Structure 1
């Protein structure tokens, strides 16, 4: 005769306990191991972070967050990530996106300024600001995709209703003077 683990409980109560334990294990498995999507490209569970289904080695799932401005950028307590790759030179504690236009972005940390993940030389990160449509203001100059827009006057540079940019002297389209 077999000895029961719970000798004083009815069979139906034992069955309910067994079903409850089984359901609990399924829920714990789903919480811990099944990745949850956040953003368009990243997902995570309690153990790992993934970019488009590929595990990111060393990423911390607890502190991991995706930037709302561009869903390809993310950071955790240790690193900044772009498309799931660690960005070595960026300070993860202070890195922020200044502004984006579709998939292209300006970003900065305490020391540097970046365009589309490339370091822009000669910029002080405290003095730059995003104008919009991939234009950046720094000192008295205007930049488009990180390149100087020759002759553009930052103080009068503005958006026009027809989709162009202009200052008091010229009109611009995608960083080029058109008149």
Structure 2
């Protein structure tokens, strides 16, 4: 396995990040059309209004991405003012099994610690069981009292890691 580096997205990578995100969701069997798909495909607002991170290999190829929503970010949906939230964790289907999702998640936790926040939160589709296993292995716990539905027919589960 080549080295994986986690860093902020560069301007010239925004298109690749949007494409990777759509491809990752599609590979997992999720609908990749409609309003939410447009959000997945357009990485620029995430880079401007949150912190958009990428995982790259030693050739510079983008392997994965995550949107980090610090307090005050319009991308935060379930986080309290002293919590960091992350969204849209996506790993290229070709890069799966290489620890990319874990590296991105660990960087999110480090970022929350750097900001002096008390927890990291996230929402996830009920069907994303592989991601749930990763979160639980890293110490996140389910918070069913915070589960919610952004639109009718879409039920999201939530997780939290206290720091």
Normalising by the smaller structure, the TM-score range is under 0.3
TM-score by length of 2: 0.27
Larger Rg: 1
* Bigger proportion of residues as helix: 2
TM-score by length of 1: 0.25
